[in-house]
Amino acid sequence: MKRNAANGAILGVMASGRGVSAALVRNSDKGPEVVRYFSRQVTSPSAASQPESPSVMMDDEDSGLGTDFTIKFGSANNNDLFLSSEFGANDADPVDGIVAPTSEGAAIGFEEELREILKECADVGYAEPLVSFCETSAYVTTTELRLGEVAPSTDAADDGKAKKKRKPKTGQAALIAQLAEQLGTEVDGDSVGFVPMTPTEAGNDRFLALVRAEGGPVARTLTTMRSRRTRMPAARLLDNEISIYLGLARTAYYLVTSDLANQELDDEPSSTPGFFPGDVRKTLVVRAGLEDTLVVFMEDDKLLHYESLRSITTYDAPETICSRVLLLQDEYGIGDVQHVLLLSEDREEAIVESFRMFFSDTRVESLREYVPTTVSDVTGDEISTSFLLATGAALRLSSDDLYQGSFDDINLLPKKLLRRKVSLPVTWHVMALYGLIFASALFWVARYFTNEAKEREHRQKIAQYAPEYANADPAVLKARVDSLNQVTTGYMRALQVLDSLLVGSDIWSRSLEAASREVSEVRGIWIDNWRPQGSQLILSGNATSRDRIVELARRTESEIETVTFSEIRDWPVYTYVMRMPIQNTLPEAARYLREQVRILSEEEAAAAGAPVLQ
């Protein structure tokens, strides 16, 4: 099962007390490829004050073993012995408890160096890669757990009950509980990882517990960057060199086993010394460092035994290292091994040749043969072990099935450091963006309410009609409305023609009728002559009194132009001239016909269920 696999660029970072090494790895069609290596010395002021860990300090310019050296002895109360596994208690024995890590001084952060490395990754075209960290074994405590073992009892009944106990649980919670019981203290689940080991002779499961020490360089670096609210790297996991070496050894085992299977299918004899298809194969991994030597025994792809030899370093003679490993092999009864993988920070070729002489029937080679290297002028021997560990940490996140199945699912990184804080700079650009978003939201909210109001209005109009018409076919309703509109249009056109004929045809008779009616009402006045002039009638005549002329003008809404006085047979006579407006209105017959047409249209529209046209 693939865990934390990444398809893009991966940056593996190896942190130690001496500096920081990193490897930029990318996935390709041919498998993981190393793009570039990075190396930085820790520039913290406290780095210069850290004590040297090795007991023997040598000059870097001395190519040989050197003649000037200093041996540092502990106090009288120090129980550490030279070759303690031979003459003292075994550090890896679970009875003794915890294997104390080597003190490299106070852990220092490398945030500035990490930022520089990430910047260089961006410069070569790999911005924001996933980051996988690795620390040395000095920042981890190892403890072997054996599940299902029962303490011996003198009571036979108790022994019988113990034998009938069920097989203990091997889940994460059960392992943490037993580890806490064995250490006598509480254990945080984020700071512990478990490596499966080969079972005991009694069939009990074994696990190697890796407990992260407090204040490691990786945790301190990420915590500092987080507290400063700077941009956090895409950190995914924190591993230790013990499990990294074990994963690389599994990779070698799978590749060699695959080659043997192919040779068996081709019926070709194996050219590898000590390898026989189908047999249980044991692998020995030896890493000689400046401060200690790690020894890992494997049976097939499971861990058989692990030990850190503090008294043996790469400064010792290759024969001394080989003899010490042989002594450890005999001490634990490992038996013959079929594959030896070696790695050293100095004089690796000499150590390989020495092991080939002592393990004549065994395949002996460098672990570098199974680690991807960069395509450059740098040879494999010039790449330090820190670069190989950084590459191995990057392979933890590789999407290649080979590496996904080779490494154990161990992550010692605290969960709170897995979450990246994203802080946006508050500038005018951000404020302008916020204003634009607010205006857009306000516009669309107003648009929504406007459309909703229109929808309610249309629904109210539809609700006014009968349900059978509201749910009828729109095409049928449209046809009915078109038909009614055509009929109404015909009626209106006919009325306009009728109005044009009626208006003006009886205007004189109605004007004469109105004038005669008003004259008869006034009395004592008569009309001698009237003629049309535009929209008015010029009326002229005589009256017996001026009051009667004024009364007639008021009743007919006329305008008096002239009034002349004369006497006829001693009687006063008033001659007048006035202008009477012509009333251009529809006749009574036309108004009657229009009213009838309107009533008929409303009745037909109500019968058809269509809206009434006004």
pLDDT one-digit tens code per residue, 416-475: 877 655 555 567 888 898 999 999 999 999 999 999 999 999 888 878 877 777 677 888
Q: What is the DSSP string of 307-365?
A: EEETT--TTS-HHHHHHHHHHHHHHTT----SEEEEEESS-HHHHHHHHHHH-TTSEEE
| Structural domain ending residue among the three candidates 401, 417, 433 | 417
Domain count, the chain: 3
- Cα(196)–Cα(303) distance, rounded to whole angstroms? 7
- Cα(209)–Cα(141) distance, rounded to whole angstroms? 8
**Tell me, what's the pLDDT at 608?**
63
Residue 31 amino acid letter: G
**Tell me, what's the pLDDT at 196?**
92
| Structural domain ending residue among the three candidates 380, 400, 417 | 417
**Tell me, what's the pLDDT at 72?**
39
Is residue 460 domain-shared with residue 533, that is, in the same domain?
Answer: no
Is residue 409 domain-shared with residue 428, that is, in the same domain?
Answer: no
In a domain, 5, yes or no: no
In a domain, 614, yes or no: no
Question: CB neighbours (10 Å) of residue 482?
Answer: 11
Is residue 436 domain-shared with residue 514, that is, in the same domain?
Answer: no
The confidence band for 261, taking pLDDT boundaries of 50, 70 and 90, is: low
- Strand-pair partners of 572: 567
With beta carbons less than 8 A apart as the criterion, state whether 334 and 297 touch: yes
**Tell me, what's the pLDDT at 58?**
36
Full domain range(s) for residue 30: 10-417
With beta carbons less than 8 A apart as the criterion, state whether 293 and 312 touch: yes
The confidence band for 7, taking pLDDT boundaries of 50, 70 and 90, is: low
**Tell me, what's the pLDDT at 437?**
95
pLDDT digits (tens, 9 = 90+) for 12-44: 999 887 789 999 999 888 888 899 999 988 765
- Strand-pair partners of 536: 533, 581
In a domain, 360, yes or no: yes
- Cα(469)–Cα(553) distance, rounded to whole angstroms? 59
Structure tokens at 85: 């596994």
Is residue 428 domain-shared with residue 411, that is, in the same domain?
Answer: no
Residue 357 clears pLDDT 80, i.e. is over it: yes
Radius of gyration of the chain (CA): 54
In a domain, 477, yes or no: no
- Cα(23)–Cα(393) distance, rounded to whole angstroms? 9
User: Left, alpha or beta for 576 (phi > 0: left; psi -120 to 50: alpha)?
Assistant: beta
CA of residue 309 relative to chain centroid, distance: 45
**Tell me, what's the pLDDT at 278?**
56
The confidence band for 587, taking pLDDT boundaries of 50, 70 and 90, is: low
Structure tokens at 217: 């360089």
With beta carbons less than 8 A apart as the criterion, state whether 30 and 119 touch: no
Structure tokens at 395: 């392979």
In a domain, 448, yes or no: yes
Strands (E), 147-292: 192-197, 206-212, 234-240, 282-288
- Cα(534)–Cα(564) distance, rounded to whole angstroms? 25
- Cα(303)–Cα(198) distance, rounded to whole angstroms? 6
The confidence band for 503, taking pLDDT boundaries of 50, 70 and 90, is: low
Q: What is the DSSP string of 391-432?
A: HHHHHTTB--HHHHTTS-----S-GGGTSPP------HHHHH
- Cα(489)–Cα(483) distance, rounded to whole angstroms? 10
CA of residue 183 relative to chain centroid, distance: 39
With beta carbons less than 8 A apart as the criterion, state whether 19 and 217 touch: no
Residue 1 clears pLDDT 80, i.e. is over it: no
**Mean pLDDT, to the nearest integer, of 280-301?**
91
In a domain, 501, yes or no: no
Is residue 350 domain-shared with residue 304, that is, in the same domain?
Answer: yes
**Tell me, what's the pLDDT at 502?**
60
User: Of 175-179, 275-279, 463-467, 482-486, where does mean pLDDT reach its minimum?
Assistant: 275-279
With beta carbons less than 8 A apart as the criterion, state whether 591 and 579 touch: no
Is residue 201 domain-shared with residue 235, that is, in the same domain?
Answer: yes
With beta carbons less than 8 A apart as the criterion, state whether 142 and 148 touch: no
**Tell me, what's the pLDDT at 492?**
82
Is residue 226 domain-shared with residue 341, that is, in the same domain?
Answer: yes
* Average pLDDT, rounded, for the chain: 78
Cβ neighbours of residue 132 closer than 8 Å, sequence gap 6 or more:
10, 11, 12, 13, 236, 237, 238, 239, 393, 394, 396, 397
In a domain, 493, yes or no: no
Element (H, E) at 528: strand 525-533
- Strand-pair partners of 566: 573
Is residue 222 domain-shared with residue 359, that is, in the same domain?
Answer: yes
The conformation of residue 134, written as its DSSP 8-state character, comes to: E
End-to-end CA distance of the chain: 79
| Burial of residue 358 (number of CB atoms within 10 Å: 0-12, 13-18, 19+) | middle
Element (H, E) at 449: helix 428-463
Residue 535 amino acid letter: S
Structure tokens at 594: 């229009």
Could you give the count of Cα atoms lying within 13 Å of 613 in the half-sphere of its Cβ?
16
| Structural domain ending residue among the three candidates 390, 417, 444 | 417
Helices 474-502 and 588-608 pack at an angle, to 10 degrees, of 180
Is residue 401 domain-shared with residue 429, that is, in the same domain?
Answer: no
Q: Do you know the residue count of the chain? A: 614
Select the more confidently predicted residue: 99 or 133. 133
With beta carbons less than 8 A apart as the criterion, state whether 337 and 285 touch: no
**Exposure letters 364-377 (e unless 16+ CB within 10 A, then b):** bbbbbebbbbbeee
Tokens 């009745």 sit at which residue?
Answer: 603
In a domain, 479, yes or no: no
Structure tokens at 246: 């074990």
- Cα(21)–Cα(8) distance, rounded to whole angstroms? 20
With beta carbons less than 8 A apart as the criterion, state whether 375 and 162 touch: no
Question: CB neighbours (10 Å) of residue 303?
Answer: 24
The CATH number linked to 567 is: 3.30.1360.100
- Cα(252)–Cα(240) distance, rounded to whole angstroms? 19
User: Of 95-99, 174-178, 393-397, where does mean pLDDT reach its minimum?
Assistant: 95-99
Is residue 460 domain-shared with residue 528, that is, in the same domain?
Answer: no
Is residue 27 domain-shared with residue 85, that is, in the same domain?
Answer: yes
Strands (E), 68-139: 130-135
CA of residue 205 relative to chain centroid, distance: 39
Is residue 525 domain-shared with residue 403, that is, in the same domain?
Answer: no
